[in-house]
Amino acid sequence: MIDEVILARLVDAARAARLQAYAPYSHFAVGAAVLDEFGRVHAGANVENAAYPEGLCAEACAIGHMVLAGGRRIDAVAVVGAGAEPCTPCGGCRQKLREFGADDLPVVVADPTGVRARHTLGELLPASFGPSHLEGAP
Ligand code: THU
């Protein structure tokens, strides 16, 4: 179980990161923050591109920061967006989180004013394919 104070810190970091989003095309700013195995917080924001499919999601940006800092496990993640519906991670980001997180990984979804939803990665990406599936392959 991740401490609620730490989860609140994670949401704050994602909210601050969202303010740095580069989203001139969708105008939909997203911030994310991941907690690594050392208790460190790594944040990211979406970075769009004029060649639309080349845009980067906030979660991918946060994961990149974590890996560069030496983190190899995600113990919690927060995502912040401002739409009418809670900004749950997109399908691609669910798989990216799966690389470093377990089924019980807490995924906290918030907007600029407060927490909107809580899930586990296993709920968002059931029966997922992960690193262990590659073990023992010929
Ligand atoms: N976006 C994220 O950054 N994370 C998600 O999980 C959902 C979508 C971004 C991608 C794009 O820049 C914008 O939100 C609109 O889809």
pLDDT tens digits, 97-137: 999 999 999 999 999 999 999 999 999 999 999 999 999 88
Domain of residue 35, CATH code: 3.40.140.10
Number of compact structural domains in the chain: 1
Distance CA 16, CA 112 (A): 9
The answer, yes or no, to whether any atom of ligand 1 lies below 6 A from the CB of 61, is no
Classify residue 108: in a domain, yes or no.
Answer: yes
The alpha carbon dihedral of 119, 120, 125, 126 has a sign of: negative
Classify residue 137: in a domain, yes or no.
Answer: no
Classify residue 25: in a domain, yes or no.
Answer: yes
Q: Measuring CA to CA, how many Å separate 113 from each of 64, 110, 116?
A: 26, 8, 9
The answer to pTM > 0.95 is yes
Classify residue 134: in a domain, yes or no.
Answer: no
Classify residue 40: in a domain, yes or no.
Answer: yes
Classify residue 132: in a domain, yes or no.
Answer: no
Beta strands in the chain (DSSP E): 31-36, 41-45, 74-80, 106-110, 115-120
Name which residue sits closest to atom 14 of ligand 1, judged by CA: 28
User: Best mutation site among 19, 46, 59, 85 for ligand 1, i.e. most ligand atoms within 8 A of its Cβ?
Assistant: 46
User: Best mutation site among 34, 57, 108 for ligand 1, i.e. most ligand atoms within 8 A of its Cβ?
Assistant: 57
Classify residue 135: in a domain, yes or no.
Answer: no
Q: With a cut of 70, which residues of the chain have pLDDT below it?
A: none
Q: Domain range for residue 37?
A: 4-126
